[in-house]
Amino acid sequence: MIAPGTWLGLLGGGQLGRMFTMAAQSMGYKVLVLDPGSNSPAGTVADAHLQAEYTDAKALTEIALRCSAATTEFENVPSESLQRLSEKCVVSPAASSVAVAQDRIREKLFLRDQGFATAPFAVIQSESDLHAREIDSLLPGVLKVSRFGYDGKGQIRVSSRDELRDAFHTLRGESCVLEKFLALHKELSVVVVRGFDDAVVTFPVAENQHAHGILDVSIAPARVASHVANEARQLAIDLANKLDYRGVLCVEYFVLDNGRLLVNEIAPRPHNSGHYSIDACVTSQFEQQVRVMCSLPLGDTSMHVAAAMLNLLGDLWANGEPRWERVLRNGGAKLHLYGKSEPRPGRKMGHVTVLSQQTDAALNGALQIKSALTADAGKSEPRSA
């Protein structure tokens, strides 16, 4: 066990790192953040901040010597850096697990080879791959870059071979995955936590609604049949075991009209759709991250109440600082701002979680807050449930 008072290392300075840092500090740990930014959300609240690249040998050596354990808050940290740290301190998740999740091609092939159902796909790495016979069966589809794509970035919808060729050129010939576009009933996610002692727990299933490729609202518990929720949680456990994963992992699913679950993506870290756990669960996903890396018993994932989490994007700052009293008029609303100084359209600036005894009431509260804030920002968005 790594006792409180010890230093923990964190690679990445974003909002996930900020929430991890706060959870670790509340448990008595000190956090050293490595991030190249000068004013990052995590760096500004950490006990110490190393401003350097994630591959910087001197910075990695300092973390390894100063910290008893290290983790990451996003999957694009070079797996080589995690491997180097693992020679001197505990690292969670392992470089091998991150290497699979940070590359869409490796991820899809891993899922297929391990027997997990996915949307039909093909690997596109060169012009010749565009002429494969199987391409017609995957159209219409979505062409996705294999590395560094997130929140809808690096993804292009295509409906013909000509559009596919143009999209591949638009993405500058980078390695991609072409996925068949499917009519979906819902999108779900499960945060699963696995410790070094093989103990494993899952959080309640979240139901996710997206806008422009970015998560808009997460509803927990998801409004699905119990057997679908149970299957989603079990698949997440199976995947963590197959990956020999140690840490917090999010598994995202497509749900087809017939109720069939397909694994969409995996994220080797706490996830946006698991933010509800901060306010609605006995133990948050970020506290679990600390517990795993310090070899502490995993916490209870039960929900106190139902929750709906609404992302707050930079678009809401179009007419200046949003009127937060509109959020907090709802007595069940919990406001979380990430300390980012520059709001930009599509940039995640914070989130609000609405708590209620009833799932639909929590969702309605979140949608009312969204409507009020978007109206203030000069937008007109339809409400949906």
pLDDT in tens, 117-131: 999 999 999 999 999
Model confidence over 274-315: pLDDT tens digits?
999 999 999 999 999 999 999 999 999 999 999 999 999 999
Percentages helix, strand, coil for the chain, rounded to the nearest 5?
A: 35, 25, 40
* Residue type (1 letter), 307: A
Strand-strand pairing, 90-91 and 69-72: parallel
Residue 38 has pLDDT above 60, yes or no: yes
> Per this entry, what is the length of the chain?
385
Residue 373 has pLDDT above 70, yes or no: yes
Q: Which domain holds residue 31?
A: 7-91
What is the pLDDT, as a whole number, of residue 380? Answer: 45
- Find the CATH number of the domain harbouring 77: 3.40.50.20
* Residue type (1 letter), 150: Y
Closest CA to 333 of 316, 312, 313: 312
Nearest 5°: the CA angle 42, 48, 50 is 80
What is the pLDDT, as a whole number, of residue 149? Answer: 63
Model confidence over 308-363: pLDDT tens digits?
999 999 999 999 999 999 999 999 999 999 999 899 999 999 999 999 999 999 99
Q: Are residues 333 and 266 in the same domain?
A: yes
Model confidence over 65-105: pLDDT tens digits?
999 999 999 888 898 999 999 999 999 999 999 999 889 99
Which residues is 30 bridged to in the sheet? Answer: 7
Q: Are residues 52 and 151 in the same domain?
A: no
Q: How confident is the model at residue 378 (pLDDT cuts 50, 70, 90)?
A: confident
Q: Are residues 207 and 296 in the same domain?
A: yes
Q: Are residues 194 and 271 in the same domain?
A: yes
- Find the CATH number of the domain harbouring 294: 3.30.470.20
Nearest 5°: the CA angle 133, 137, 143 is 95
CA distances from 349 to 19, 250, 315, 327, 341 (A): 13, 21, 9, 15, 9
Residue 382 has pLDDT above 90, yes or no: no
Q: Are residues 174 and 192 in the same domain?
A: no
Token digits of residue 143: 């062409």
How many whole angstroms separate alpha carbon 99 and alpha carbon 79? 6
What is the pLDDT, as a whole number, of residue 180? Answer: 97
How many whole angstroms separate alpha carbon 313 and alpha carbon 46? 24
Token digits of residue 247: 């840490």
Q: Are residues 247 and 192 in the same domain?
A: yes
- Find the CATH number of the domain harbouring 133: 3.30.1490.20
Residue 217, C-beta contacts closer than 8 angstroms, at least 6 positions apart: 208, 209, 308, 309, 310, 311, 363, 366, 367, 370
Token digits of residue 80: 């080589």
Model confidence over 240-272: pLDDT tens digits?
999 999 999 999 999 999 999 999 999 999 999
Q: Which is it for the CA torsion 194, 227, 277, 107, positive or negative?
A: positive
What is the pLDDT, as a whole number, of residue 150? Answer: 61
Residue 340 near residue 279 (C-beta atoms within 8 A):
no
Of the three residues 157, 180, 203, the one that is the final residue of a domain is 180
Q: Are residues 214 and 343 in the same domain?
A: yes
Q: Are residues 58 and 39 in the same domain?
A: yes
Helix (H, G, I), strand (E, B) or coil at 190: strand
Of the three residues 138, 156, 180, the one that is the final residue of a domain is 180
Q: Which is it for the CA torsion 223, 226, 231, 234, positive or negative?
A: positive
Residue 354 near residue 362 (C-beta atoms within 8 A):
yes
Model confidence over 134-185: pLDDT tens digits?
999 999 999 999 987 665 578 999 999 999 999 999 999 999 999 999 999 9
